[in-house]
Amino acid sequence: MSPLQDHFVHVQCGDCPIRHRAVCARCETDELMRLEQIKYYRSFQAGQTIIWSGDRMEFVGSVVSGIATLTQTMEDGRRQMVGLLLPSDFVGRPGRATAAFDVTATTDLVMCCFRKKPFEEMMLSTPHIAQRLLEMTLDELDAAREWMLLLGRKTAREKIASLIAIIARRDAALQRKRTPVALSVDLPLTREEMADYLGLTLETVSRQISALKRDGVISLEGNRRVMIADIDRLMEEAGDDSDGGILV
């Protein structure tokens, strides 16, 4: 279909931007060489669905660039985002035949893919991969549990403040900047996607963003860029007891 569907040039793992955070992070040179042989790149356009829930999973892989979401939809159309995948995040579930959630590219996106079978075999022979995957999965589980607190107990205002803080933290982590957190953050999501992340309607998202702006906690530069006026205030509004401690 689109030119973006075509496979990308093959990048050497050593030069890969996510080399030290992805599932391959702990691999030695020789292990990397074996991965190199079974990997391939795939690109997706913004809006394109990567995997449908219920589909047979042919591959697993890592997000190299761009952003993807994991979502669940009820028959009547209510939708909840259950994962936000940034570069280095892993997609797929070794040991399961079909996908449990929809995976969608929300921006143009490049994935480093492995056919599922060879990857599973390699996991058995390469403890470094399984170890790293376990570590990443445990981290995701912790993140999911924080997210559950947000969904179950936070007010709309706290949800918005939390989302901004989460995104600020995550992309500070990605850029390996240990700076307390950027003063301005790009929201990679539409209002509707934020609503799906937060368990709100898009109208409520819009209203609460306006309210935080009105109250001087943030300011906007266009619709997508948020300037964080007062980071401590934002953390306070987010209602997290874990103080503004940096990162993941």
The site for its own copies (CB under 8 A) is made up of: 70, 72, 74-75, 78-80, 82-83, 93-96, 100-101, 124, 127, 130-131, 133-135, 137-138, 140-142, 144-149, 151-153, 198-199, 239, 241
Strands (E), 36-108: 39-44, 49-51, 59-65, 68-73, 79-85, 90-91, 102-105
Partner from DNA, its own copies, none contacting 49, C-beta within 5 to 8 A by type:
none
Taking CB under 7 A as the criterion, the residue among 21, 39, 157, 170 binding DNA is 157
Minimum distance from residue 194 beta carbon to DNA (Å): 8
CB atoms within 10 A of CB 14: 10
Interface mask toward DNA for 182-201; x: CB under 7 A: --------xxx------xxx
Q: Quick one: which H or E segment has residue 75?
A: none
Give Cα 208 distance to the centre of its chain: 23
Torsion angle of alpha carbons 33, 39, 45, 48, nearest 10°?
Answer: -140
Residue/partner pairs of 72-76 with CB below 8 Å, 24 or more apart = 72/101, 72/102, 73/102
- 210 contacts DNA (rule: CB under 7 A): yes
Among 57, 220, 229, 231, binds DNA (CB under 7 A): 220
CB of 51 to its own copies, least distance (A): 14
Cα–Cα dist 216/77, whole Å: 35
State in angstroms the smallest separation of the CB of 145 from DNA.
Answer: 19
Note the residues at the interface with DNA (CB under 7 A). 155-157, 190-192, 199-207, 209-210, 220, 222-224
